[in-house]
A and B are shown apart, each in its own frame.
Chain A
Amino acid sequence: MLLTPGLEAYSSDKEHKMSKLLEVKNLKTYFHTEGGVVKAVDGIFYHLDKQEIIGLVGESGCGKSVSQLSVMQLISTPGEIVDGEVIFEGQDLLKFEAHGPEMRSIRGAKIAMIFQEPMTSLNPVLTISQQLTEMLELHLKMSGEAARARAIELLGMVGIPSAEDRIDDYPHQFSGGMRQRVMIAMALSCSPEILIADEPTTAVDVTTQAQLLELMKDMVERFQASLVIVTHNLGVVARYAQRIYIMYAGRIVEEGTTKDIFGKPRHPYTMGLLKCIPRLDEEEGRKLVPIEGLPPNLINMPPTCAFLPRCSYKVGRCFEEPWPQLRHLHDHHYISCYADTEEMRSEPAAR
């Protein structure tokens, strides 16, 4: 199975703009806690093209999940979206009321999200049929019969055997992997343009994870939608994503095509990550090189680069100036760094 070659799609910036499905500019989401302000998302810029799969990668606390919740305007106190634009279909979604009719018509119908925990995302007291048809009736204004037929069809598409019998079951009667499939069916039921998968691999086994990811990829192709994979698992994005954004402490530190990120990583954090994860195909006796230090404390962060305490490429500028803006390297490869990191080839695969 080959990855769709992606570079040809971005030949010129102008063309690029026209095919952009979603554009996020300077998004900032802060949380007001007892200890201080947590800048969970602190000014990120990214975009999503039509029929594209992108990865938003980072460890816990980097803001990747919060950023997607912000796009969907699912942030509630003590969190607050303090700045930014989310341009979708020519409109800035952040200008709409979070609970207003515009957002409600977009959520689920145009932009859908699959959450990490299938057990808590499905309503335990409603049957699958009720939950699926609710979406169809609400957004697509289908009649009860038509909605049910479509729901059964969807369940079949995501690989639930004997869909007509199982549709009236309750969530607890399904296994974890099945529930995730139901979530995928629900998310796709109204043929959204964008599907956001938040940590889709965490709560399930490896082989189930492989099934679900393949399913998501197939479905997204079938429905001609775009997919945003939010994860900490670099392997998953290596396999599925065409472009990747690496996040750290609320900002994007590196962005580029998948091959650039893995083949020519330039940000110290990206390089550090690649050096410290074990790989199935690594040479025997390979020593992992951990990233020193601790994950950043997001409360009352200093204005300088958040990765500075752990960075082995730091230069004088890093201590004096605020967090660097994204710098263009070449083509679609950007990093947020003052140092001139040499190009580092990622580890060659074991023969």
Chain B
Amino acid sequence: MSLQQDEAILDIRDLKMYFPVTRGLLRRKVADVKAVDGVTFKIRRGETLGLVGESGCGKTTIGRCVLRLYQPTSGTIFFEGEDISSLPESKVRRIRSKMALIFQDPYSSLDPRQNAGSIVGEPLKIHQWVSAQAEYNDRVEHLFRLVGLDPSMEDRFPHEFSGGQRQRIGVARALACEPSLIVCDEPISALDVSIQAQIINLLEELQEGIKGLTYLFIAHDLSVVKHISDRVAVMYLGHIVEITKSRTLYENPLHPYTKALLSAVPIADPFVEEKRERIILKGEVPTPLNPPPGCSFHPRCFMAIPECRQAVPPLHDVGGEHEVACIRV
């Protein structure tokens, strides 16, 4: 692996997250939803790693595991060198100031009964980040300006803001205690197209201005993920199938699913679209309850061979920080 151990702010090793399915009064476990089934990757300090995939692939679950909102079934999560995978909840709370989450839905991610200023400042109170009221006020005002909001609107309530503005409030709240890692879970998909660009730019500028700010950017829109990320990991049914620099992903995709995914994303240019190769996959994404044996993609894969059924292909390095999980590559 080409990343040095000490550069990595987040180091995930063979992470698994299974959710039991229970039946009956006594809640016997009958099966597992294998939301995340053995995922390994690292994120460098200051970089943006994009996590992309379709519904059921596990990307949101990974985001939640990283923040320890779930207790992983197995595997390790190193955050800033510390193994947080099995920390008790009380210790996890301590490190919560260093990591933050931005949500998809600007309408349900803000408490409608709290005004904007108190939403943004709440992390400061929880972690006793500032000692005096004046300091608190200053910091809240600073956070508002940082995300392009007028501090005079601190006493307004969420319903008085537009969707894009609410997302800005969410970003300000995330930045309150100077986190080193922000997990962005579909932060723009609920916004209008013309507003999405505002938020993308905001996130990019914040990263340029705040040294060491790292993003794990989770989304299903590949164009957006490629634009904002340094590296991208493509997920399918609980596994990472390909992970590389974003430019390489577009120019030289190796995994058949990546190729199909890229081809399925339309480009806003008819001249380009005319010439593109179209790969249409058959069938649908299977449920994580009962994944296919071996490589989970093989039933829909146009490159599949009988050996694909035998084992889950591991991620292997093909050079230049490019890893693929496919035995045909």
Please list the residues of chain A having a beta carbon within 8 angstroms of any beta carbon in chain B: 1-3, 59-60, 175, 177-178, 205-211, 214, 232-236, 238-239, 258-259, 262-263, 272-274, 276-282, 284, 286-291, 294-295, 346-347, 349-350
Contacts and interface: CB of A to CB of B under 8 A. Distances in A.
B269 A206 contact: no
A349 B274 CA distance: 13
Nearest to B260: A207
- Among A206, A263, A287, A349, the one with the most B-chain Cβ atoms within 10 Å of its Cβ is A206
A143 to B, nearest CB: 34
Contact of B223 (A232, A239, A277, A287): A277
A210 B197 contact: no
B226 A259 contact: no
A272 B194 contact: yes
A259 B271 CA distance: 7
A278 B200 contact: yes
Given A277-B193, A280-B222, A263 B227 contact: no
Contacts of B226: 278, 280
B270 A178 contact: no
Given A290-B197, A295-B194, A259 B270 contact: yes
Contacts, number: 140
Interface size class of B (residues with CB under 8 A): 35 or more
B265 A206 contact: yes
Interface string B119-131: 0000000000000
Interface string B152-185: 0000000000101100000000000000000000
B263 A210 contact: yes
B224 A278 contact: yes
Given A208-B284, A232-B193, A239-B273, A279 B54 contact: no
Contact of B227 (A235, A238, A262, A288): A288
B247 interface: yes
A290 B152 CA distance: 24
Contacts of B305: none
Contacts of B227: 278, 282, 286, 288
Contact of A3 (B197, B270, B281): B270
Contact of A238 (B164, B193, B269): B269
Main SS of the interface on chain A?
loop
Contacts of A206: 54, 220, 222, 261, 264-265
Contact of A234 (B201, B268, B274): B268
B197 A291 contact: yes
A235 B267 contact: yes
A211 B278 CA distance: 10
Contacts of B213: none
Given A1-B278, A3-B273, A278-B223, A236 B201 contact: no
B194 A178 contact: no
B284 A239 contact: no
Contacts of A258: 270
B3 interface: no
A32 B201 CA distance: 37
Nearest to B222: A280
A59 B193 contact: yes
Contacts of B281: 207, 210-211
Contacts of A214: 278, 280
A280 B250 contact: yes
A241 to B, nearest CB: 9
Given A281-B250, A291-B197, A295-B195, A349 B278 contact: no
Contacts of A211: 280-281
A209 B324 CA distance: 25
Main SS of the interface on chain B?
helix
A167 B73 CA distance: 40
B327 interface: no
Contacts of B264: 206-207, 209-210
Nearest to A291: B194
B308 to A, nearest CB: 19
A209 B263 CA distance: 11
Interface in B193-251: 193-198, 200-201, 220, 222-224, 226-228, 246-247, 250
Contacts of B290: none
A208 B282 CA distance: 9
- Among B193, B227, B278, the one with the most A-chain Cβ atoms within 10 Å of its Cβ is B193
B285 interface: yes
8 contacts: A3-B274, A210-B281, A259-B270, A273-B193, A273-B194, A279-B269, A289-B197, A294-B165
Given A206-B222, A290-B198, A291-B194, A235 B266 contact: yes
A262 B268 contact: yes
B55 A205 contact: yes
Contacts of B194: 59, 272-273, 276, 290-291, 295
B268 A279 contact: yes
Interface in B281-296: 281, 284-285
Contacts of A288: 197, 200-201, 227
Contact of B268 (A60, A238, A287, A350): A238
Contact of A205 (B200, B220, B224, B263): B220
A209 B265 CA distance: 9
B67 to A, nearest CB: 25
A238 B222 contact: no
Contacts of B193: 59, 232, 234, 273, 276-277
B113 to A, nearest CB: 22
Contacts of B260: 207
Nearest to B200: A288
Nearest to A278: B227
- Among A3, A207, A258, A279, the one with the most B-chain Cβ atoms within 10 Å of its Cβ is A207
B282 to A, nearest CB: 8
Contacts of A286: 227
A1 B269 CA distance: 14
A262 B284 contact: no
B229 to A, nearest CB: 11
Contact of B265 (A1, A262, A280, A290): A280
